[in-house]
Structure 1
């Protein structure tokens, strides 16, 4: 049976392996797809995006049930997952493909994204001005199959064990305390 009233959103907060791996833990997130958005080349490859010449960001597009998890809650997750004050980087990942970005579908979602960013910035969680780009989603390109669920398939890969694993642990602690995780991951 097909679920009704599902929504989708697309955002980038650094390496898509990090973002994708935690979003799947949330109640109400039905699916996640790692991919590329915001660039000028049709059907880009990972190697092309990594050059910084295509203009794409590494992003995750997620499908969610707004009856279980709200857009505002997902924005809280987004701003928790990365540092929105870092321009074109997250930690040691440097380049425009790692930029902080929200890709909206329509004007109503653009306004919600702008409001969520203002609220997060006003919270004082991060020192500095937010550099998160809020841009209309023109096209989402799914990444190559080996990027989908990368952490789950490669937890002992050095980047995964050093960066993604600790990020997941921190995420589970914070959002588990808020009751937002699927029961099987608490």
Structure 2
């Protein structure tokens, strides 16, 4: 997988990267940003056929990209397996191309592994998730080129809180539920 627009020197060797898509990237970014062991979360696009897509293009549903997050984390504090298990608890992996009222291929549930080891862990996580949900899990394992999202989409919930209708009705409730269920995994200073 190529990573367009990434600063190749910014990651410490002790960190790993996970790329996940499961609905609006604002929701995923807000959740993963609260986790102990997470160093950085970037919203962006992956899995499509257009170079350097814009938010408007991706939202049109014709580029093939998913809204996703690229999470840099310390595996000594938070394993890739834990990242995936949380992923399957914070979105509905049983609805194809949809999360709530967000509909289209850009909202699909997908994992983008960066190594054979991550691919094997993703396959195992999908199998585990299949035992949690009554409907079949439709999460895919894909490859693609990462494209960072526009600046206005980075740290969106951290900047806006519940001040926008979407965050008030979608992101905020998801974040609060996550914080309550995973309070032992939260960074210091994050209130459950």
TM-score (norm 1): 0.94
Q: Whole-Å Cα distance in 1 between the matches of residues 170 and 112 of structure 2?
A: 25
Question: Which of 144, 152, 171 is the aligned partner of 2:178?
Answer: 171
Q: Whole-Å Cα distance in 1 between the matches of residues 18 and 175 of structure 2?
A: 21
Q: CA deviation at 1:4?
A: 3.6
For 1:49-76, what per-residue CA distance to the aligned partner results, in whole angstroms no more than 9, with x for missing partners? 0111100000000000000001111011
Instruction: Please say if 1:145 is aligned against 2:156.
Output: no
1:59-138 superposed matches below 5 A: 59-122=68-131, 124=132, 126-136=133-143, 138=144
Secondary structure of 1:168's partner? Answer: helix
Question: Which of 4, 16, 24 is the aligned partner of 2:25?
Answer: 16
Q: Whole-Å Cα distance in 2 between the matches of residues 48 and 4 of structure 1?
A: 34
Q: CA deviation at 1:121?
A: 1.1
Stretches of 4+ aligned residues off by more than 3 angstroms: none
Q: CA deviation at 1:115?
A: 0.5
Where structure 1 has 5 or more consecutive residues not aligned to the other structure, the ranges are none
Cα RMSD between the aligned structures? Answer: 1.1
Where structure 2 has 5 or more consecutive residues not aligned to the other structure, the ranges are 1-10
Q: CA deviation at 1:3?
A: 4.2
For 1:18-61, what per-residue CA distance to the aligned partner results, in whole angstroms no more than 9, with x for missing partners? 11011110000000000000000000000000111100000000
Q: Whole-Å Cα distance in 2 between the matches of residues 111 and 88 of structure 1?
A: 23
Q: Whole-Å Cα distance in 1 between the matches of residues 101 and 138 of structure 2?
A: 17
Q: Whole-Å Cα distance in 1 between the matches of residues 16 and 115 of structure 2?
A: 13
For 1:126-172, what per-residue CA distance to the aligned partner results, in whole angstroms no more than 9, with x for missing partners? 22101001012x31000000000111111211100111111111000
TM-score (norm 2): 0.91
Task: Give the number of aligned pairs.
Answer: 180
Q: Is the 8 A contact 2:23 2:107 kept in 1?
A: yes
